[in-house]
């Protein structure tokens, strides 16, 4: 198990990765951490209404970097753990489409389990920070526009989005 610290504009939280839950997912996440992929990445989808759902991130702010990873899919892991509050899970666009997007579950989203969403870890410190991520834009940011224009689009249209400053391994 590895512990990963997310330093964000809204504070710091720590995720414990579980390779036994999702070995391919954890390997990809660690590849992204080693590549400093997450620096400057915005929390672009924050769904808290009508009930707490998820906070999503993982489209790089530089369109060239986003393009590099866009079709670099990894196969799905078998779902071994439920999508409960605080779990970190890959976002997908269907079977075997995991690339760089993740979400933290704000509530019990076990209905995602049979859809192939395999958690790779869980927030072990700072869930209050995750809960405080700016949510007024909801699902308004357009993912295609983020892919094409990056943070320039988000800074212009959605200037209050919280983002990741640094992600680091604090325990391997």
For every residue of 24-75, which 3-state class applies, written as one string? Answer: HHHHHHHHHHHCCCCCCCEEEEEECCCCCCEEEECCCCCHHHHHHHHCCCEC
Phi–psi pair at 143, nearest 5 degrees: -60, -35
| Cα–Cα distance for residue pair 139/47, rounded to 1 Å | 7
Q: Can you tell me the mean pLDDT for 156-169? A: 98
Domains of the chain, CATH where assigned: 2-171 (2.40.100.10)
- Convert 71-110 to b/e letters by CB count within 10 Å (16 or more is b): eeeeebbebebebebbbbbbbbeeeebbbbbbbbbbeebe
Q: At 112, is the pLDDT very low, low, confident or very high (cuts 50, 70, 90)?
A: very high
Q: How confident is the model at residue 172 (pLDDT cuts 50, 70, 90)?
A: confident
Q: Tell me the pTM.
A: 0.96
In a 3-state reduction of DSSP, which class is residue 145? helix
pLDDT, tens digit (0-9, with 9 covering 90-100), for 39-79 = 999 999 999 999 999 999 999 999 999 999 988 999 999 99
- CA distances to 6, 45, 130, 162 from 125, in Å: 10, 21, 10, 18
Beta-carbon-side half-sphere exposure of residue 139 (alpha carbons within 13 Å): 7
Mean pLDDT of 122-134: 98
**Mean pLDDT score across all residues of the chain:** 97
């Amino acid at each position: 198990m590895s512990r990963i610290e997310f330093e964000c504009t809204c504070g710091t939280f720590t995720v414990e990765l579980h390779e036994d839950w999702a070995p391919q997912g954890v390997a990809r996440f660690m590849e992204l951490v080693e590549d400093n992929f997450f620096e400057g990445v915005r929390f672009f989808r924050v769904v808290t209404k009508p009930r707490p759902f998820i906070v999503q991130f993982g489209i790089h702010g530089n369109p060239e970097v986003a393009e590099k990873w866009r079709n670099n899919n990894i196969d799905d892991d078998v779902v071994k753990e439920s999508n409960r509050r605080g779990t970190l899970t890959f976002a997908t666009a269907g079977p075997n489409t995991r690339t760089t997007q993740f979400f933290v579950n704000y509530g019990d989203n076990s209905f995602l389990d049979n859809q192939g969403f395999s958690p790779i870890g869980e927030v072990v410190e700072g869930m209050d920070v995750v809960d405080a991520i700016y949510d007024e834009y909801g699902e308004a940011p357009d993912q295609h526009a983020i892919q094409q224009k990056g943070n320039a689009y988000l800074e212009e249209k959605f200037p209050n989005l919280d983002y990741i400053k640094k992600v680091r391994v604090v325990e391997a």
